[in-house]
A and B are shown apart, each in its own frame.
Chain A
Amino acid sequence: MSRILTRRNFLIGSTLGISATALTGCDLLDQNAGIAEVLKSAERLTMKGQRLLQGRNALAREFAETDISPSFRVNGTSAPDSEEYAALSEAKFANWRLKVEGLVERPQELSLADLKTLPARTQITRHDCVEGWSAIGKWTGVPLANVLALSGLKSTARYLVFHCADELEKTLDGSGRYYESIDLVDAFHPQTMLAYQMNGQDLSVGHGAPLRLRVERQLGYKQAKYLMRIEAVDSFAGLWGGNGGYWEDRGYEWYAGI
């Protein structure tokens, strides 16, 4: 009997003990690099699983005009805080040029007018923020594939990096500058576009004027605003924090399909 009691006490005691320390323990575990790596392994599984289910070209749902959200929240930067951007905005982006460079065959410098002469696409899609909210908007722009057809890609190119005009965090080294990256599967997806219009109007400053990225099968933070430069790379390890994006450098998943 005493043996059973001891074992019982041990089991109950250890269960309670583990539960009590679990919560504070998580904060410590969270800061442990090894544990963080184990937890992050789920991201690769998620990406592989989703890509397997999707195939290359499964489309995000497109909605009707009547489904458009009455208000679309401005998130992240509401206006880039630089003299350079202010000057561009002042001139209604007539002097703005989108640079396409890096591992491309023919580097480009495209004006807004140049982009608007390329075949366009309009889609009404749901924008899902990582925080949990959603808004539906109508986007008009150039499919990224059409721009990449102009520049061509070298065979070593694996990712496209989008450099933006906004600094979400003020830092001395510029590491607070917004940037994002996608792989070639998403780059050539039919709904992936460089949007210059939202809900039938030129993009407002709040929503990323003059040009923003739409990657419809991923979360809001991939939809980089205030595009200045697209760089084709074979790896984003050398850029800023090395994780392929502003939020990725701050702990968020590079593959934001979930």
Chain B
Amino acid sequence: MTDTANNDNIHYPRTVYVQRHSVVTRVTHWLNVLCLSFLLLSGLQIFNAHPELYWGHYGADGDPAVLTMGSSGQGDGLRGFVRVAGVEVSTTGVLGVSSFEGERTPRAFPAWITIPSFQDLAAGRRWHFFFAWLFLINGLLYLGFSLLSGHFHRDIAPTRSQLSPQHLWQEVRDHARLRFPKGQEAKRYNALQKLTYLVVIVVLLPLMVLTGLTMSPGVDAALPALVDIFGGRQSARTIHFITASLLVLFVIVHIAMVVLSGTWNNIRSMITGRYAIQEEGPNT
């Protein structure tokens, strides 16, 4: 920095490019996008086969449900609803009842958001389990690489100063005003970013795998502790659904942040690795 600062030929502010993401991070990121997309949409297909969630070891029609997506009435009077903890919300057109091939049809999630679009549990399961394996292998590669290469330690673990209450509060206020770090500060993730990524990588994604496995009677026989941890197969199914919803929420915020803090710069850095930083110059 000191060399260039003395060079009169450099005009500030100027754009410098840094290598933002390693090739492993970039490849596993996009494979993860692919896997999670297929897992979500085929997961909704699977959910549609029995659109009720329970708590505990068992749960079927007639048992008390935590969440129900259903329909009532017939013909033109067909209406869809979502019932959570006894509170019923009308969702006709989207959830419970939606149009399929021009006809009002009772189905939990609409055809435009499930794989395949038509009701086919067997096909949904095939897509789901194929991408579940790919997701698992991809995730393990990423975790292994990140731990060994120091990516976690260097880029994702928040520093002590980042975790101070004053600093965190300042970041919350900056985010609320859509003011994002510039210059040198933009080279690293901010604390809110680091904490969010940590929750996704260390909590939500592993929770998806573990609750998914707990729904398998074969895995339950091999690893009975899983059933105890989640309080039963039906609880695991409910947690699987809630965690998936949280991941959808994360993706929405993630994409919003990508757009608000420099769409093309962010996307390019995740494709080619190059990330542009505006340097303000030595005197400012």
Interface positions of A (Cβ within 8 A of B): 8, 11-12, 22-24, 26-27, 30, 36, 38-43, 45-46, 50, 53-55, 58-61, 63, 67, 69-73, 126, 128-136, 216-219, 247, 250-253, 257-258
Contact = CB atoms under 8 A, between A and B. Distances in A.
A62 B113 CA distance: 38
A48 B82 CA distance: 39
A63 B224 CA distance: 12
Interface in B121-137: 121-123, 125-127, 129-130, 132-133
A58 B281 CA distance: 67
A126 B233 contact: yes
B105 interface: no
16 contacts: A23-B115, A30-B116, A39-B130, A42-B130, A61-B224, A67-B58, A69-B63, A129-B50, A130-B49, A132-B237, A133-B50, A134-B57, A134-B58, A135-B58, A217-B221, A218-B218
Contacts of B52: 133
Interface string B263-284: 0100110010000000000000
Contact size range, B? 35 or more
B97 to A, nearest CB: 19
Nearest to B126: A39
Contact of B122 (A26, A133, A251): A251
Contact of B267 (A11, A27, A69): A11
B216 interface: yes
Interface in B118-169: 118, 120-123, 125-127, 129-130, 132-133
B129 A258 contact: yes
Contacts of A60: 217, 220-221
Contacts of A217: 217-218, 221
Given A71-B60, A126-B58, A133-B54, 12 more contacts: A30-B115, A39-B126, A53-B222, A54-B218, A71-B63, A130-B125, A131-B50, A134-B59, A216-B221, A219-B217, A251-B122, A253-B125
Nearest to A257: B218
B217 A30 contact: no
Interface of B: 37, 41, 46-47, 49-50, 52, 54, 57-63, 112-113, 115-118, 120-123, 125-127, 129-130, 132-133, 215-224, 227, 233-234, 237, 264, 267-268, 271
A34 to B, nearest CB: 13
Contacts of B224: 61
A111 B264 CA distance: 74
A258 B219 contact: yes
B116 A252 contact: no
Contacts of B237: 132
B219 A69 contact: no
B126 A42 contact: yes
Contacts of A40: 126
B116 to A, nearest CB: 5
A133 B47 CA distance: 10
